């Protein structure tokens, strides 16, 4: 009987040692994540955000710690009474709570305090990690200490205590809509300015062409246009008028050398003609090129 009792004790101890030796990554997985329960009414530490998701500095710290440990994590938020019930019946592995509520050997409590909750001037609650898995609480405590020494904990707490000093975790959809409308308004304004400049350019060229077109039917006048971009635009847009046999055109380069001329201009070569130069101006008052009106003497 005594031998049987000793054998049972040895097997029980071996089972306990085997469970202890099992790593956290073997006990917790995507199908069985670490479940952390916490209160939902303590902003900016623990609360439900506008997306109806757990949020706050304690939530961010918990997620960062478990991520660094390579453990999947799920946050469960309820009123404090519901949170305690979920933890005590085994629905959660860890609870973020005042250590005084679980000061008994059945629970393991982290040495580090996540934050101090001031209920009133005479009551201060120390919110810690509390759970039944000693190995899990111990490694969370170690990771918290390393993050505290590196400044990661302080950075997370500052981001939630002073959101104006950092990029917020999430922005309301109204802000995205406002930014989108502002971008659209800026784009519409830019397109409007470009369109107005284009219309102004068309009106300026049209005014120049109207003067030329009004003189084209006069068979006693011929026009000599120097070669530049404006001339090419005129020829392209009013090819029918400029191909009139009574309109003589010569093309010159920027140095004043003749490039080519049309048939009407060739007919004038060697004939007794007179001419006058008429400058053309752009919108800035600069001379762009010249029309040279050529008149043949009247027959006697």
- 74 and 62 in a common domain: yes
| Number of domains forming the structure of the chain | 3
**Pairwise CA distance, residues 297 & 148, whole Å:** 102
pLDDT of residue 271: 56
Domain enclosing residue 52, as ranges: 20-165
The verdict on residue 119 lying in a domain is yes
- 73 and 97 in a common domain: yes
Closest CA relative to residue 220, chosen from 295, 164, 134? 295
pLDDT tops 70 at residue 55: yes
Take residue 188 and report the two structure tokens written for it.
């519409």
Instruction: Say what percent of the chain tops pLDDT 70.
Output: 55
pLDDT tops 80 at residue 87: yes
The verdict on residue 41 lying in a domain is yes
Main-chain phi, psi angles of 255, to 5 degrees: -95, 0
Question: Taking a C-beta distance cutoff of 8 angstroms, is the pair 117, 57 a contact?
Answer: no
pLDDT tops 60 at residue 147: yes
- 60 and 154 in a common domain: yes
pLDDT of residue 4: 53
- 266 and 161 in a common domain: no
pTM for the predicted model, two decimal places: 0.50
The verdict on residue 232 lying in a domain is no
pLDDT tops 70 at residue 136: yes
- 179 and 105 in a common domain: no
The verdict on residue 173 lying in a domain is yes
* pLDDT tens-digit readout, 10-45: 444 444 434 444 688 889 999 999 999 999 888 889
* pLDDT tens-digit readout, 219-230: 444 445 544 555
Place of tokens 């404006």: 230
* pLDDT tens-digit readout, 242-269: 566 666 666 555 455 556 666 766 776 6
- 262 and 185 in a common domain: no
pLDDT of residue 204: 63
* pLDDT tens-digit readout, 276-292: 444 555 556 555 555 55
pLDDT of residue 295: 45
- 157 and 172 in a common domain: no
- 263 and 157 in a common domain: no
Question: Taking a C-beta distance cutoff of 8 angstroms, is the pair 98, 126 a contact?
Answer: yes
Averaged pLDDT, 82-90: 91
**Pairwise CA distance, residues 271 & 258, whole Å:** 18
- 158 and 25 in a common domain: yes
pLDDT of residue 11: 46
- 186 and 159 in a common domain: no
Main-chain phi, psi angles of 128, to 5 degrees: -130, 170
Instruction: Say what percent of the chain tops pLDDT 90.
Output: 31
Question: Taking a C-beta distance cutoff of 8 angstroms, is the pair 120, 136 a contact?
Answer: no
Q: What is the mean pLDDT of the chain?
A: 73
pLDDT of residue 217: 46
Q: What is the CATH number of the domain that holds 62?
A: 3.40.190.10
pLDDT of residue 297: 43
- 147 and 68 in a common domain: yes
* pLDDT tens-digit readout, 105-132: 899 999 999 988 776 666 778 899 999 9
How far CA 169 is from CA of 114, 156, 160, 228, 274, in Å, comes to: 20, 11, 9, 59, 81
The verdict on residue 223 lying in a domain is no
In this prediction, residue 138 has a pLDDT band, given cuts at 50, 70 and 90, of: very high
- 95 and 112 in a common domain: yes
**Bigger pLDDT: 275 vs 77:** 77
């Amino acid at each position: 009987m005594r031998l049987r009792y000793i054998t049972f004790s040895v097997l029980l101890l071996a089972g306990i040692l085997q469970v202890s030796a099992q790593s956290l990554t073997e006990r917790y997985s995507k199908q069985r994540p670490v479940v952390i329960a916490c209160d939902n009414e303590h902003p900016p530490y623990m609360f439900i955000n506008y997306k109806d998701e757990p949020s706050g500095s304690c939530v961010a710290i918990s997620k960062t710690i478990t991520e660094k440990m390579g453990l999947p994590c799920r946050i469960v938020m309820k009123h404090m009474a519901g949170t305690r019930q979920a933890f005590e019946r085994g629905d959660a592995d860890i609870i973020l709570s005042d250590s005084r509520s679980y000061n008994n050997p059945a629970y393991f409590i982290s040495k580090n305090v996540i934050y101090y909750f001031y209920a009133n001037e005479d009551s201060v609650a120390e919110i810690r990690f509390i759970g039944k898995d000693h190995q899990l609480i111990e490694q969370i405590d170690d990771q918290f200490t390393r993050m505290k020494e590196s400044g990661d904990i302080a950075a997370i707490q500052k981001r939630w205590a002073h959101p104006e000093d950092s990029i917020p975790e999430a922005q309301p959809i109204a802000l995205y809509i406002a930014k989108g409308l502002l971008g659209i308004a800026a784009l519409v304004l830019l397109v409007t300015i470009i369109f107005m400049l284009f219309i102004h350019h068309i009106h300026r060229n049209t005014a120049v062409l109207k003067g030329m077109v009004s003189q084209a039917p006069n068979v006693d006048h011929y026009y000599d246009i120097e070669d530049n971009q404006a001339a090419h635009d005129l020829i392209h847009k009013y090819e029918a008028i400029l191909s009139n046999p009574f309109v003589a055109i010569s093309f010159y380069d920027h140095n004043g050398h003749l490039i080519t001329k049309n048939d009407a201009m060739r007919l004038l070569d060697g004939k007794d003609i007179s001419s006058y130069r008429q400058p053309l101006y752009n919108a800035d008052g600069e001379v762009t090129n010249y029309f040279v009106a050529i008149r043949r003497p009247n027959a006697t």
